[in-house]
Amino acid sequence: MTRHTQPEPCAPEQVTFELNGDVISQWVSPATTLLDILRGSGRITSARAGCRIGRCGACTVLLNGQAVPGCLVMAWQVSGGTVETVEGLAEDPDFVQVRDALATESALQCGYCTPGIAVSLVSGLRQQQNGDVVDLEEAVTGNLCRCTGYGGLKRAIAVLTEASSET
């Protein structure tokens, strides 16, 4: 069920990209969303279809280092690129810092939106490390959370901000 009638899909093309360090190559219609490729790959459950219109952020992943909603990126845009999800970030020091802050500050309840939030925060931390001025609360504005009212997330961001100002 979608808002508009879908046109006939284009003929499949081969799409090759790096997913969490592995090369993925698939024949898909070029308009297939990255979200569908990831979930269809059988390897990724962290990116979730919360709205499919780029509004909720539950499918946020890193594409070439940038946080993007997987539902708005299409196969042809991913070709040759690098995609990271929380499944591949377990050893990443930025992710570990984010994960620990989210956990200790109880920044989640049901947790369905949380991987997307973690990815947005990792992206924000990396931008800060590159010298950009990034407000981490702004970095998660595109991530909707319905359970927490963002209270724990604000506290987790305060912890991350304090840690990054110390370094």
Question: Which pair of structure tokens corresponds to residue 13?
Answer: 């093309």
Under the criterion CB under 8 A, does residue 153 sit at the interface with other proteins?
yes
Minimum Å distance from CB 9 to other proteins? 9
In order of 58, 81, 82, the CA distances from 142 in angstroms are: 9, 23, 21
Contact 143, 117 (CB under 8 A): yes
Minimum Å distance from CB 143 to other proteins? 7
Under the criterion CB under 8 A, does residue 72 sit at the interface with other proteins?
no
In order of 44, 46, 146, 154, the CA distances from 137 in angstroms are: 26, 21, 16, 7
Minimum Å distance from CB 81 to other proteins? 20
C-beta neighbour count of 42 within 10 angstroms:
7
Under the criterion CB under 8 A, does residue 50 sit at the interface with other proteins?
yes
Contact 25, 14 (CB under 8 A): yes
x/- mask, other proteins, residues 91-130, rule CB under 8 A, reads --------x--xxxxx-xxxxxxxx--x------------
Q: Which of 159, 119, 150, 145 is nearest to 55 (CA)?
A: 145
Name the segment binding other proteins (CB under 8 A); options: 15-23, 62-70, 72-80, 81-89. 81-89
Minimum Å distance from CB 54 to other proteins? 8
- Site of interaction with other proteins (CB under 8 A): 1-3, 39, 42, 44-53, 55-56, 58, 85-87, 90, 99, 102-106, 108-115, 118, 137-138, 140-155, 159
